[in-house]
Amino acid sequence: MNDDQLLRYSRHILLDEIGIEGQERILAAHVLIIGAGGLGSPAALYLGSAGVGQMTLVDDDTVDMTNLQRQIAHTTGRVGQPKVESIREAVLAINPQVLVHAVQQRATDQLLDELVPQATVVLDCTDNYKTRHRINAACVRHRVPLIEGAAIRLDGQLMVIDPRDAQSPCYACIFPPEAEFEEVQCSTMGVFAPVVGLIGTMQAAEALKLIAGLGKPTTGRLQMLDSRVMEWSSMSTSRNPGCPVCGHQP
């Protein structure tokens, strides 16, 4: 690290759990964030400010006025701009040392098979059930850790999936891909703005923990937030040997 980096990341370096070695791992990391909206905004800003060396943002959408109530990386002046470019601009304004790749595309299987193997960790910040399963399957195939986040109305969810861990269930172990699922979106159901901030920030925290080797990752637990009473509940989960996605993995 150079003098500027030692100063910029000094508050991390002061932590015994991170120190210079942990911060160097963060600087060497490449995080893939899929979804540049309410969850992706705080996640990208915190990961960028923390010094993640490379970040790839994937989203095919553009900034809309209705996004600004909760998608804090975007601004009124960037309405109509691709979301990935808007977040790239926001991250670089905080930390110009981060290399940010903006990919304005849908997360297809082909794109995921190209990008996931390059990542240290993947953050699923999408709001589409089928896309979540597509991302989960790609991470299992390429054995890359995945941080799942979700938020709707006044509720949030967080789950850490690590295909390198033989005990870690994947997303499909808990939510079967073939299940009939009624898609719910913020545009029809609404969402309490701080909830996406809480979940997105926790996704960033779990990603940094995995990268730096800090603490214990929350694999094997589905965490659920009820912001009406600001209480978390946690459900222990286990790997399903018959899972169609990870059941055949060694």
- Residues annotated as catalytic (active site), given as ranges: 186
Asked if residue 173 lies in contact with residue 239, where contact means CB atoms within 8 angstroms, the answer is yes
Residue type, 202: M
| DSSP summary character for residue 226 | E
Helix (H) or strand (E) holding 57: strand 54-58
In order of 52, 96, 127, the CA distances from 19 in angstroms are 15, 22, 35
- Work out whether strand 155-161 and strand 99-103 pair parallel, antiparallel, or are unpaired: unpaired
Q: Residue 238 CB: number of other CB atoms within 10 A?
A: 11
Non-local (6+) Cβ contacts of 2 within 8 A are none
